[in-house]
Amino acid sequence: MKLLLFFILIISLPSFAKINHDDPKWLKLLRYQKGLTGYTSEVDSKEFFFHKEGKTNPDKELNATLNAFSEKENRCRFPARAIILDRAQNLEIDCPEYKKFIDKVNLKSVSLIFSSYFIEKPASAFGHTFFRLRSKDSGKYNNELLDYGVDYSAQVTTNNPLLYGIYGIIGGFKGNFKMMPYYYKVREYNDTESRDLWDYELNFNEDDLRLFMAHLYEMNQAYFDYFYFTENCSYHILEFVDAIRPDWKLMEDLDLFVPPVQTIYALFKEKNIVRDVNFRPSLYKNIEYRLKSLNTDEKSTFEKLVEDKIKLEQTDNVKVIDAYSDYLDFKYSPFFTQKNSPEYAEFNDKKYDVNLKRSQIEQESETLSFEGEKKMAPEKGHETKRIRIAPFYRDHKIGGEFEYRFSFHDFMDKKAGFIPFSSTEMGRIETNFYDDKFRLDNFTVVSVDAIRPLSELSNSLSWRFSFGLRDYRPTIKQEYAPFVDISLGQAVSFGNFAMALFLRAENSYWGTFDRDLRIGLGPEILVIYNNDQWSMKINFKRLHFYSQLDRYRSLLELEMRYHVSKNAGISVGYERETSFDDKYVTNFYWHF
Amino acid sequence: MKKMLALTAGIMMSGSVMAAHGPAGCGLGSILFKGKDGLVFNVLAATFNGTSGNQTFGMSTGTLGCEDAKTATVAAVSFIDNNKVALSNDIARGEGQTLDAYLTLIKADTANKMALKKNFSKIFVKGHTSQEIHSAISNVIKL
C-alpha cells in the first residue's frame, strides 16, 4: 500500500526529464540556429528566455528552464517546453488561462494556407502563407469562416514609405504571430485582394495538435526582428511547423531567400505531410466561372446590365443576376477598405438593388465547381532557380551561353502553378563564350512581364519592366551600362494564346559618350503560346535611339520550348538583330 | 550572420524593391497605403506587403487582433461588420457559407433561411448599422 502511494506520488509530481540541449526538439522550439560562433535563437524578446544568456546558449537556457519549471506559473507560460520536457504533464487542468485558450480554439486540424498570385494585383506576385486552425465544431458544420487564422507579420511603426521600405529590409520592425477569426483572412485575401486561397491540411496527430497549441500560446511572448527577404512570413510559418514535426525536415533544403511557394514545395517533399488540399476561390475566380456558365443571350444581358443599358427589372434570369452581383463585388473590391469613398457608397446602392431583386426570385443559384483549378495548383509549379546552357551558331561560328537565374518564373517556363503569360524574375546573369572570348552579357536585377489580357472584367494595361547592367558593345570591347527598359501596352488572349502590342522605351546610362543618357523608343509586339507541354514566343521590337549615334535597331526573337518534365526543358531559338548575323540557338533548362 | 546576409541580400535587392510591382510578398501593404497613388507608393505597398499587420481590419466594434469570433453578441455584430456584403448576398440567395456561419454563431443553425430571404428588405435597410441588421435578423427568426 505504501509502495502504491509512493508510486502515485511519483507520477503525479511534475518530473522533468533531462533532455540534451542539442536535442532537435529543444533547439527548434526555441528557434536556435547554428552559426559560426555557436547557437543563436532567432527570437529577439528577452521575456522568451529564463537565462540571461538564453538567446545564445541552449544549454544554460535548458537548465534555467528546468529550474524555473518548479513553479507552476512558469510551466503555464511555456506549455510547449513543458510538454517536450515532460510529456505526462496535464497543463490544461493546471493552467486556467491556457485551458481557456485551448477550449476557445477547440482544434481539430491545422492547415497551411497559401494565398496565391493574382495578375490584376501585381502586389501579390509572390504569394503569402499563414495558418488556419480548424475547430472541431467547424468541421461538423463546415463553418470555416468561424475558424481561426494565425499569421506572422511585422508591427509597422511608421507611415513613412521610405522608412517602411528600409525597416522591412534591415529588420527594423518587430514581427510576431497574430491570431484572428479566419473570416478576416478570407475577406482580406479572397475579397479585398482577390487572391485564391489554397488550403494544405497538415497531417498532424493528436500529440502534434497539442504541441501546436502549446507552442502557439508561448509564441505569444516572442517577437522576431522582421526581415522581408529572409525571415519573412513564410519562413516563420514553416519554422513553426518544423518545430512541431522536426522529423519532416522541412527547413533542410530551404534557401536563404524564401519565396512563399518554396515553403509549399517543402510540404510535398514527402507524401505524408499534406493530408488534404482545398481551394477557396477569389472574387475574380467566382465571377470568371459565373461568366463561363452563361450562354450567348445571357452574356449579352449581363453586358447590358454592366453598361447600364437595361435596368435590373428587365431580367428575371437568376444566372445573369448572380453574375452581375458577383461582378459588382469584384469591380468594387479596391474600395472595400475605403468606406467613406463615393465609390463605396455607389457599390452599396447597387449591391442593395441587385440583392433585393435577387431575394424576390425563389429559384436556387447555380453551384460553381472549382475542381478543375486543382490541376494548376501552386504545388504543381516548377522550382524557382534556373540554369540554362545554350550552344548557338552565328556567322559560321559556334558559341555557347550560360545563364543563371536566382528566382522565380518567366512566361516561357512551364505554366502550372503560376500566373499565365507573366514573368517575375530576379537576379539573372547571362554569360557567353564566342570567338574565343568569355564575357558577361548582362546582369538583370529584376524583370517583370505583366501581360494582362483585356476581358469583360478588366482593361488594365500590360507592362514589361526590367533593369540591370548590360554589355552594350558585344562585338567590340566590353562596355557595361546600367539600363531600365519599360514597355506599356494592351494585350488580348484566346485560350493558350496571348498577343500584346507595346510602346517600348529602353534607357541606359553610358558614362563614355557625349550624351550620357541613351534613350530608345519604339513599338514592340509579343506573341505567347503556352500549353502544358509547349511554350512559344515571338517578340519583335524596333527602336529609334536618340543619341549622337542616332539610329534604328530592330530585334526579332523566336523561341519554341518543350517541357521535358516539371523542372527541365529544351528549346530552339532564332534571333535576328540589326547589324548582327542571324543566330540559331538550342537551350537546355534546369530548374532546381 | 543571418542578419548580415539579410542585409546584403537587402542591399542587393533594394533596387528591385524600388522598381517592380512583381517581387512582392505577403500581407496587405496595398491596404496600408490605400488612397496614395503613384509608383513609389504602389511599389512600396506591393513590396512590403508582408510587413503590415491586420490593423486595417479594426472596425467599429473593436475587433482588432484576437477578437473572439465564437462568443457573445459583440462577435455576431462584428461578424456582420466584416462580412456584410457576403451575408447580404447569401440572404438574397437564401443560402451560403457566410449565412451558415452567422447562424451557427448566434446558435440558430436551424433557422428558416427562406424566411430571411423573403424579409431581405426588412433586414438590409439602407444606412442601417451592423447592430440594426443583427436585431432585424433576430426579429425575423424570432430569437
Determine, for residues B89 and A355 on separate chains, whether the beta-carbon distance falls below 8 Å: yes
Q: Decide if pLDDT at B5 tops 70.
A: no
Computed over every residue of chain B, the mean pLDDT equals: 62
Determine, for residues B34 and A337 on separate chains, whether the beta-carbon distance falls below 8 Å: yes
Determine, for residues A446 and B7 on separate chains, whether the beta-carbon distance falls below 8 Å: no
Q: Sorting pLDDT into bands at 50, 70 and 90, what band is A229? A: low
Q: How high is the pLDDT of residue B44?
A: 38
* Residue B143 contacts A, CB cutoff 8 Å: no
Closest residue on chain A to B63 (Cα): A180
Least confident of A165-174, A198-207, A508-517, B18-27: B18-27
A291-308 per-position pLDDT tens digit = 999 999 999 999 999 999
Q: Which phi and psi (to 5°) does residue A575 adopt?
A: -135, 130
Q: Which residue blocks in chain B are alpha helix, DSSP H?
A: 2-19, 29-32, 39-47, 72-93, 97-105, 113-118, 120-123, 130-140
H-helix or E-strand containing A388?
Answer: strand A386-394
* Residue B89 contacts A, CB cutoff 8 Å: yes
| Min Cα–Cα distance to chain B from A424, Å | 6
A10-47 per-position pLDDT tens digit = 444 456 667 888 899 999 999 999 988 899 999 998 88
* Residue B61 contacts A, CB cutoff 8 Å: no
Show residues of chain A in contact with B34, CB under 8 Å.
Answer: 337-338
Least confident of A72-76, A157-161, A555-559: A157-161
Of A139 and B64, the one with more pLDDT: A139
| Min Cα–Cα distance to chain A from B11, Å | 8
| Min Cα–Cα distance to chain A from B38, Å | 12
Q: Sorting pLDDT into bands at 50, 70 and 90, what band is A549? A: low
A262-274 per-position pLDDT tens digit = 899 999 999 999 9
Show residues of chain B in contact with A427, CB under 8 Å.
Answer: 12
Computed over every residue of chain A, the mean pLDDT equals: 88
SS3 B6: helix
Q: Decide if pLDDT at B99 tops 90.
A: yes
Closest residue on chain A to B127 (Cα): A348
Q: Decide if pLDDT at B43 tops 80.
A: no
Least confident of A522-526, A536-540, B62-66: B62-66
Q: Sorting pLDDT into bands at 50, 70 and 90, what band is A515? A: low
The grid coordinates of residue A20 equal 540534451
Q: How high is the pLDDT of residue B21?
A: 22
Determine, for residues B6 and A230 on separate chains, whether the beta-carbon distance falls below 8 Å: yes
Q: How wide is the angle at C-alpha A179 spanned by C-alphas A175 and A185, nearest 5°?
A: 100
Show residues of chain A in contact with B49, CB under 8 Å.
Answer: 123-124, 128
Determine, for residues B100 and A142 on separate chains, whether the beta-carbon distance falls below 8 Å: yes
Q: How high is the pLDDT of residue A509?
A: 78
Of A167 and B82, the one with more pLDDT: B82
CA atoms of A61 and A32, how far apart (whole Å)? 11
| Min Cα–Cα distance to chain B from A404, Å | 16
Q: Sorting pLDDT into bands at 50, 70 and 90, what band is B31? A: very low
User: What ipTM is given for this predicted complex?
Assistant: 0.85
Of B19 and A369, the one with more pLDDT: A369
* Residue B95 contacts A, CB cutoff 8 Å: yes
- CB atoms under 10 Å from CB of A223, counted, come to 19
Show residues of chain B in contact with A36, CB under 8 Å.
Answer: 1
Show residues of chain B in contact with A122, CB under 8 Å.
Answer: 20-22, 24, 46
Show residues of chain A in contact with B28, CB under 8 Å.
Answer: 188, 192-193
A259 close to A128: Cβ distance less than 8 angstroms: no
Q: How far is CA A14 from CA A60, A66, A89, A218, in A?
A: 21, 11, 6, 19
Across A116-164, the runs of DSSP E, i.e. the strands, are 128-135, 148-155
Of A323 and A70, the one with more pLDDT: A323
A342-354 per-position pLDDT tens digit = 999 999 999 999 9
CA atoms of A55 and A43, how far apart (whole Å)? 7
| Min Cα–Cα distance to chain B from A345, Å | 10
The grid coordinates of residue B60 equal 467599429
Interface test with chain B among A134, A143, A363, by most B beta carbons within 10 Å:
A143
The grid coordinates of residue B86 equal 457576403
Of A294 and B76, the one with more pLDDT: A294
Determine, for residues B30 and A121 on separate chains, whether the beta-carbon distance falls below 8 Å: yes
Q: How high is the pLDDT of residue B56?
A: 30
CA atoms of A154 and A394, how far apart (whole Å)? 52
Closest residue on chain B to A138 (Cα): B101
Over its C-alpha atoms, chain A yields an Rg (Å, rounded) of 29
Q: Which residues pair with A446 in a beta bridge?
A: A426, A467
Q: How high is the pLDDT of residue A327?
A: 95
Q: Decide if pLDDT at B7 tops 80.
A: no
Q: What is the arithmetic mean of pLDDT over A446-475? A: 86
Q: How high is the pLDDT of residue B39?
A: 35
Q: Sorting pLDDT into bands at 50, 70 and 90, what band is A590? A: very high
Q: Sorting pLDDT into bands at 50, 70 and 90, what band is A90? A: confident
H-helix or E-strand containing A284?
Answer: helix A283-292
A268 close to A274: Cβ distance less than 8 angstroms: yes
Determine, for residues A446 and B16 on separate chains, whether the beta-carbon distance falls below 8 Å: yes
Determine, for residues B13 and A154 on separate chains, whether the beta-carbon distance falls below 8 Å: no
Q: Which residue shows C-alpha cell 530576379?
A: A426
Q: Sorting pLDDT into bands at 50, 70 and 90, what band is A159? A: low
Q: How high is the pLDDT of residue A170?
A: 73
DSSP A151-195: EEEEE-----HHHHHHHHHHT-EEEEEEEEEHHHHIIIIIIIS--
Show residues of chain A in contact with B97, CB under 8 Å.
Answer: 142-145
* Residue B39 contacts A, CB cutoff 8 Å: no
Q: How high is the pLDDT of residue A362?
A: 93
Determine, for residues B5 and A256 on separate chains, whether the beta-carbon distance falls below 8 Å: yes
Q: Decide if pLDDT at A169 tops 90.
A: no
Chain mean position to CA A278: 17
Of B1, B7, B32, the CB nearest to A36: B1
| Best CA proximity match to A472, nearest among A428, A440, A449, A426 | A440
Q: Decide if pLDDT at B111 tops 70.
A: yes
Q: Averaging pLDDT over each range in A480-494, B48-62, B72-86, which range is the top one?
A: A480-494
Q: What is the arithmetic mean of pLDDT over B98-124? A: 93
Closest residue on chain A to B124 (Cα): A352
Q: Decide if pLDDT at B3 tops 50.
A: no
Q: How high is the pLDDT of residue A89?
A: 65
Determine, for residues B93 and A191 on separate chains, whether the beta-carbon distance falls below 8 Å: no
Q: What is the arithmetic mean of pLDDT over A100-119? A: 88
